[in-house]
Every structure is written in structure tokens, then in C-alpha cells.
Amino acid sequence: MKIYLVRHGEVPHNALKQYNIKDEDLTERGIKQAEELREKIKNIEVDLIISSPLIRAKRTAEIINKNSKIILDDRIQERSCGDLSGQPIEVTNREEYWNYYTKIQYGTSENIQEFFKRVYTFLEELKTKEYKSVLIVAHSGVSKAFSGYFEGIQDGKFLNRGLKNCELKEYEL
């Protein structure tokens, strides 16, 4: 099965370099990014679009969708930042926050290993389906988990292994 993974378009907390604040919609720039992506992928045929239920991902999925069914899956929501919500990303050591082997817990943020397991259960279930090709619209953290699943955990450093807004990556499942 071919998997096309897309990160949603820009939202206000991305532009402000903050941990996500709430379930935000796309900025004007984020809408433009999604429209550009729609043009870039117009010749890709997919059986289904699976999106995170968060507004930014759903909106991106709606913009880039030609005529596929869109289903939502909670397991591909972004990693919960807990009480870091709305704070500048500099309040943490980002390398450590995205280190699979970290022993540091930042406030009430979701544990990275538990987060990856959540995403991996989604991928394991997807393996059991008969789709030829699926487009998944999710988040930077989810793209980091996909990287770990398909490319290995390696040194455990995931800070720079995520997709940029409306970036597309292809995998074979």
C-alpha cells in the first residue's frame, strides 16, 4: 500500500513559534500552502483520505481533496503538549523534547514513546486494509513518528525528522 503523508498548512501557533494553543484553523498562508499542495498532487489517485480530527488537518484535507472520502482518526492527532500549550517553544530543550530516549518529562506533555505507540497502532491497523493508496493528513509530530516507524528510531533524535507545513512524504506499507 502506498501512503502519502501530508502535514497540515500553517496555523497561528506555527507562525508564533509556540506550542499549540487550541484547535486552530489555518492562517491565510496555511490556506495558500494547501491550495499549492492540491495542485502538486492533482495526479495522485488515492482510495481514501485519513485525517487527524483537529481543525487544521481537516481543513487541509478538505482543500486538497479531489473527490475521495475523508475519515477522521484520533490516533493521528498531534502529540499533546499539555500545560506547555501557548508557551514559546524555547521553554523546553527541543532536542530533548523530541528525543525518543529522553528521561525528562516536560510538564503534562504526552510521553514521546506513548505518542509513537499511538501512531504505530494506527499504522498496524492500516496494514490490515486492502487499500492501494491512502493520503494521510496529520501533524509534524505524527510525521516524526512515521519516520521512526518506517526508517527506524536510530539515535532517537526526532527534532529535525518532521515535515514542514504542507510537505508531502511517500511511504510503502
What is the Cα–Cα distance from 154 to 142, expressed in whole angstroms?
17
> Do 84 and 91 touch, CB atoms closer than 8 A?
yes
Largest CA-CA distance found in the chain, in angstroms, rounded: 45
Look up residue 60 and give its three cell numbers: 487541509
Residues annotated as catalytic are: 8, 78
Look up residue 162 and give its three cell numbers: 518532521
Look up residue 58 and give its three cell numbers: 481537516
